[in-house]
């Protein structure tokens, strides 16, 4: 999951948890590094102290000896004292001559086998450095040894022999302290982590609560209804600025909505007046021509006068009926259908409605023979009739028509679907399909689907459609049974 897709609250929560975890890991890493450095310093300083103390003890033996102080007499000078000094300081002591050959050793059983001869690099370092001292560090198995080499001198500071102190680095005590520290650190980190989880939860909730409230208000903002302003107290300057901007937007939106509603109403009345005038003018023209023709050709002596009068009357009556149907269509659209509590069998009513068309290409389907619902019979017939007419008119010439009407019972409601294999509805017309006086046909007033939606919504139902270009359209009407 990408971080940018996470919510702000989740980001704050994760950031605080990671901060605690990373800080604990960093503290542990620094502690281990510091432990290693201190361990090395501790062993180096301890070896230096032992070396200084042992050389002082050996210098005392040299001053008190009765043997001539020469390199050859070193085994005799330190014959017994070397064991005492090694025992006191708990470390092995090896003495070499100036050529690097072993003269005498305390041979501590806890240390590795003693070298018989020193390596050339040891002798070169002792001879060619100002400190006249050499120290190395090596690992043997699981143990680490640190060895120091330096000259011991006689009373005249003449080099007498080379002393070697092999020192075993024992880290058990320091490692135990480190483990105890890391254990305490882990417990402390766990407690801090739990506190950070709780703090992150409440802090992220506190920070994002105003933003969530603003988001919910924005999602609920609609042009067609009155929107509430946001009232959030005791918040940050950034959130206050955002709230003020939203409240200003609401004021501007409401003002624009009022202006838009007024403009739409005026435009709707203008368009309706144009439509009514246009539809009424269509039959008035042939009526005028018929009356004028009658005036010119009227002859009381004409033996066919009664037949011509009858033809003129039929023409006028036909045009008057057309005007009456136009007025009825506008009247039916303008008024809400009266709700009637009529219990009827939806399957039976729809099936009988299809008999009006009496076409073989209209197929009726239902999963049950009886679905009882409360609906006005006349209005239900109008809904189904309009949908079937639209489906038939949507099928282009040359294509075998196919209309499928299906009635099913779904939960506590009824669903009626009308499917055709017509040309479908284009994307640009989908948003306008239920608008009054919208039509894609060369004739008609475009009130059919608007009236159907008006009827369905009156009975707490819905009407939807699914359409594919050149494949067909399916309208779905759903309404509760009671």
User: Same structural domain for residues 288 and 349?
Assistant: no
> Strand 413-420 relative to strand 133-140: parallel, antiparallel, unpaired?
unpaired
pLDDT (0 to 100) of residue 113:
47
- Report the pLDDT value the prediction gives residue 228, as an integer from 0 to 100: 67
Of the candidate ranges 61-75, 101-115, 201-215, 321-335, the one whose mean pLDDT is the lowest: 321-335
Closest by Cα among 203, 189, 209 to 19: 189
Helix or strand holding residue 405 (H, E): strand 403-410
Q: Give the pLDDT confidence of 52-73 residue by residue, as tens digits.
A: 899 898 888 888 888 888 888 8
How far is C-alpha 351 from the chain's CA centre? 50
344 pLDDT exceeds 70?
Answer: yes
| Average of per-residue pLDDT across 324-352 | 71
- 35-62 burial by CB neighbour count: b if 16+ within 10 A, else e? beeeeeeebbeebeebbeebbebbeeeb
Q: What is the pLDDT of residue 227?
A: 64
Query: Is residue 473's pLDDT more than 60?
Result: yes
Structural domain that includes position 272: 237-334
- Whether 285 and 389 map to the same domain: the answer is no
Mean pLDDT along residues 211-235: 66
Candidate from 99-108, 135-144, 227-236, 307-316 with smallest mean pLDDT: 227-236
- Would you call 338 helix, strand, or coil by DSSP? coil
Distance of alpha carbon 465 from alpha carbon 124, whole angstroms: 99
Residue 207 domain flag: no
Specify whether 348 is located in the same domain as 475: yes
What pLDDT score does 475 carry? 94
Residue 111: name the closest of 92, 94, 95 by CA. Answer: 92
Residue 282 located in a structural domain = yes
Q: Which residues pair with 135 in a beta bridge?
A: 148
Structure confidence at residue 197 (pLDDT)? 82
In this structure, the answer to whether residues 327 and 348 fall within a common structural domain is no
Calculate mean pLDDT across residues 363-384. 89
**Tally of CB atoms within 10 A around 124:** 11
Query: For 347-367, how does the pLDDT look when each residue is reduced to its tens digit (9 = 90+)?
Result: 999 998 888 777 889 999 998
Q: Tell me, what's the pLDDT at 238?
A: 63
> What's the token pair of residue 247?
């409240």
Stretch 292-312: mean pLDDT:
73
pLDDT in tens, 136-163: 888 877 778 888 899 998 888 888 999 9
pTM higher than 0.75: no
**Does 204 fall in a domain?**
no
The confidence score (pLDDT) of residue 348 equals 92
Where among 312, 334, 356 does a domain terminate? Answer: 334
330 & 349 share domain: no
Per-residue pLDDT at 128: 87
Q: How many Å apart are CA 27 and CA 474, to the nearest integer?
A: 67
Both 278 and 148 in a single domain?
no
Residues 392-418, mean pLDDT to the nearest whole number: 91
Dihedrals phi, psi of 461, to nearest 5 degrees = -110, 180
Boundary (domain end) residue, out of 175, 198, 218: 175
- Domain-embedded: residue 164: yes
Is residue 316 assigned to a domain? yes
Provide the token pair at 152.
Answer: 């011991």
Q: Which of 49-53, 300-304, 345-349, 468-472 has the lowest mean pLDDT?
A: 300-304
Range in 33-37, 81-85, 463-467 with the lowest mean pLDDT? 33-37
In percent, how much of the chain has pLDDT > 70? 77
Same domain for 292 and 268: yes
Task: Name the domain count of the chain.
Answer: 3
Choose among 379, 366, 345: nearest CA to 410. 366
206 in a structural domain? no
Three-state secondary structure call for residue 215: helix
Q: Which is more confidently placed, 269 or 113?
A: 269
* Whether residue 318 sits in one domain with residue 360: no
Distance between CA 201 and CA 193 in Å, rounded? 12
348 and 271 within one domain = no
pLDDT of residue 445: 41
- CATH (domain of 84): 3.30.450.20
Same domain for 360 and 241? no
Same domain, 43 and 149: yes
Rounded to 5 degrees, φ, ψ at 445 are -105, 0
Continuous segment of H or E residues that includes residue 24: helix 8-64
Helix, coil or strand: residue 297: helix
Task: For residue 408, list its beta bridge partners.
Answer: 415
Please indicate, yes or no, whether residues 115 and 45 belong to a single structural domain of this protein. yes
- Exposed/middle/buried for residue 316 (C-beta within 10 Å: 0-12, 13-18, 19+): middle
**Per-residue pLDDT reduced to its tens digit, 233-276:** 666 666 677 777 777 777 777 777 667 666 666 666 666 666 66
Q: How many helices (H) and strands (E) does the chain have?
A: 11, 12
- Evaluated on CA atoms 274, 278, 281, 283, the torsion sign reads negative
Quote the pLDDT of residue 320.
75
Q: Residue 338 — very low, low, confident or very high, per pLDDT cuts 50/70/90?
A: low
Under the banding of pLDDT at 50, 70 and 90, the label for residue 442 is very low
Does residue 194 sit within a domain? no
CATH of the domain at 269: 1.10.287
Q: Record the tokens describing residue 76, joined without a space.
A: 């005799």
- Evaluate whether residue 473 is within a structural domain: yes
* Beta strand pairing call for 403-410 and 362-366: parallel
Q: What is the DSSP letter of 4?
A: G
Domain boundary among 127, 155, 175: 175
């Amino acid at each position: 999951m990408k971080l940018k897709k996470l919510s702000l609250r989740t980001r704050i929560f994760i950031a605080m948890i990671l901060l605690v975890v990373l800080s604990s890991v960093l503290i542990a890493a620094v502690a281990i590094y510091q432990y290693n450095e201190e361990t090395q310093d501790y062993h180096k300083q301890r070896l230096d102290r032992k070396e200084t103390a042992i050389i002082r003890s050996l210098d005392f033996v040299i001053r008190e000896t009765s043997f001539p102080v020469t390199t050859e007499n070193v085994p005799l000078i330190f014959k017994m004292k070397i064991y005492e000094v090694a025992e006191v300081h708990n470390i092995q002591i090896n003495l070499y001559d100036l050529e690097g050959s072993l003269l005498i050793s305390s041979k501590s059983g806890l240390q590795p086998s003693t070298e018989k001869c020193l390596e050339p690099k040891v002798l070169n370092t002792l001879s060619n450095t100002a400190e006249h001292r050499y120290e190395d560090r090596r690992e043997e198995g699981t143990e680490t040894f640190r060895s120091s080499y330096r000259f011991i001198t006689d009373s005249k500071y003449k080099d007498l022999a080379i002393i070697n102190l092999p020192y075993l680095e024992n880290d058990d005590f320091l490692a135990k302290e480190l483990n105890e520290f890391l254990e305490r650190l882990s417990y402390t980190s766990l407690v801090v982590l739990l506190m950070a989880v709780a703090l992150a939860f409440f802090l992220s909730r506190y920070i994002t609560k105003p933003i969530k409230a603003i988001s919910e208000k924005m999602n609920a903002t609609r042009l067609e209804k009155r929107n509430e302003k946001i009232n959030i107290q005791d918040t940050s300057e950034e959130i206050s600025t955002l709230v003020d901007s939203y409240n200003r937007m609401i004021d501007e939106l409401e003002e624009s909505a009022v202006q838009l509603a007024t403009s739409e109403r005026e435009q709707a009345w203008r368009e309706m007046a144009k439509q009514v005038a246009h539809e009424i003018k269509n039959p008035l023209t042939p009526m005028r021509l018929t009356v004028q023709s009658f005036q010119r050709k009227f002859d009381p002596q004409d033996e066919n006068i009664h037949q011509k009068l009858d033809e003129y009357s039929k023409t006028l009556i036909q045009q008057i009926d057309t005007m009456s149907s136009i007025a009825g269509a506008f009247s039916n659209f303008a008024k809400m259908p009266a709700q009637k509590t009529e219990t009827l069998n939806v399957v039976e009513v729809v099936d009988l409605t299809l008999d009006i068309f009496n076409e073989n290409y209209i197929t009726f389907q239902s999963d049950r023979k009886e679905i009882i619902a409360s609906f006005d019979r006349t209005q239900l017939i109008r809904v189904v009739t309009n949908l079937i007419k639209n489906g038939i008119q949507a099928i282009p010439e040359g294509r075998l028509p196919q209309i499928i009407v299906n009635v099913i019972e779904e939960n506590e409601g009824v669903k009626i679907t009308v499917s055709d294999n017509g040309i479908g509805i284009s994307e640009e017309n989908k948003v306008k399909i239920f608008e009054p006086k919208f039509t894609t046909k060369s004739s008609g007033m475009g009130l059919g689907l608007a009236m159907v939606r008006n009827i369905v919504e009156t009975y707490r139902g819905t009407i939807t459609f699914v359409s594919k270009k050149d494949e067909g359209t399916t309208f779905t009407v759903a309404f509760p049974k009671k």
